[in-house]
């Protein structure tokens, strides 16, 4: 299954992804962005987040 992955070493916590896809990305209470576990992901929205992430740190991972 394809899963969105965030490279937290590059992420600036700008929240563009959580704004674009709040059903996929959320801000963890500890202050970093995480992917919400789900059986399948909205590919169009993840691809939008990948295109708009200013740090280019979102990618697909095949698991």
Interface ranges with ligand SF4 (CB under 6 A) = 6, 11-17, 33, 53-55, 57-58
- What is the closest distance, in whole angstroms, from the C-beta atom of residue 55 to ligand SF4 in the complex? 4
What is the Cβ-side half-sphere exposure of residue 14, based on CA atoms within 13 angstroms? Answer: 15
Closest separation in Å from C-beta 32 to ligand SF4:
8
Residue 63 beta carbon to ligand SF4: minimum distance, rounded to whole angstroms: 18
14 vs 36, which CB is nearer to ligand SF4? 14
CB atoms within 10 A of CB 9: 7
Give 38's Cβ-side CA count (13 Å radius): 13
């Amino acid at each position: 299954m394809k899963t969105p992955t965030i490279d937290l070493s590059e992420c600036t916590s700008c929240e563009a992804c959580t704004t674009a896809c709040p059903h996929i990305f959320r801000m963890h209470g500890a202050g970093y962005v995480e992917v919400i576990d789900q059986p399948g992901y909205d590919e169009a929205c993840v691809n939008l987040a990948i295109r708009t992430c200013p740090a280019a740190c979102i990618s697909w991972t095949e698991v």
